[in-house]
Amino acid sequence: MCGIAGILSSETTPITILSMMESIRHRGPDDSGFIGYSSPSFGHLWLGHQRLFVRDLSKAAAQPMTDDSGRFSLIYNGEIYNAKEIREELKRNGDFHFRSKGDTEILLKAWAKWGKQTPEKLQGEFAFAILDRSQGKLFLCRDRLGIKPLYYSMEKSKLAFASEVRALVIAGFGKSLNSEGVDGYLTFGSIPEPLTIYQGVFSLPAGSTLEVDLESQKTLTQKFWKNPFLSVEYKERKEFNLDELEFLLRDAVSCRLVSDVPLGAFLSGGVDSSCLVASAAKILSTPLQTFLLDFPEPEYSEAFYAERVSDQFGTHHRRVLFSNKAFQEELPKALQAFDQPSMDGMNSYFVCQAAKQSGLTVALSGVGADELFAGYETFRRGPRSSFLAHLPFPLRRLLARVLSQGNSVARRKMGEFVSGDCSLVGSYAVMRSVFLEKSRRFLLRRETRTASDWMRAFVDNPIAERDPINFLCGLELEFYLKNTLLRDLDVLSMQHSLEVRAPFLDHRLVEYMANTPGNLKLAPGLNKPLLVRTLGRDLPRECVKRSKRGFSFPWRPWILGALAPEMKRAFEEGASKWEELGISPSSAKAIYGRFQQGKDGVEWGHVWTLFMLARWNEARSDSARAVKNTA
Q: In what order do the strands lie in the sheet with 3-9?
A: 31-39, 43-51, 3-9, 158-162, 151-155, 201-203
Could you check whether the bond before residue 557 is cis, i.e. omega within 30 degrees of 0? no
Phi, then psi, of 256 in degrees rounded to 5: -95, 10
One DSSP character per residue, 453-496 reads: HHHHTT---SSTTT-HHHHHHHHIIIIIIIIIIIHHHHHHHHTT
One DSSP character per residue, 65-121 reads: EE-TTSSEEEEEEEEETTHHHHHHHHHHHS----S-SSSHHHHHHHHHHHGGGHHHH
Dihedral sign from CA coordinates of 382, 386, 389, 394: negative
Contact (Cβ atoms closer than 8 angstroms) between residue 135 and residue 168: no
Task: List CB contacts of 186: < 8 A, sequence separation 6 or more.
Answer: 434, 435, 440, 443, 444, 609, 613
Treating both helix axes as pointing N-terminal to C-terminal, what angle do 604-630 and 324-337 enclose, rounded to 10 degrees?
A: 50
Q: Which residues are catalytic?
A: 2
Determine the straight-line distance between the first and last CA of the chain, rounded to whole angstroms: 29
User: Cα–Cα distance between 428 and 268 in angstroms, integer?
Assistant: 27
Adjacent-strand bridge partners of 202: 152
8-state DSSP, 296: S
User: Cα–Cα distance between 445 and 182 in angstroms, integer?
Assistant: 13
Q: Collapsing DSSP states into helix, strand and coil, what is residue 627?
A: helix
**Where does 358-486 have alpha helices with state H?**
369-373, 378-384, 393-404, 409-418, 424-432, 437-444, 451-456, 468-475
Nearest CA-CA partner of 345 in 545, 201, 490, 520: 490
One DSSP character per residue, 305-330 reads: HHHHHHHHHT-EEEEEE--HHHHHHH
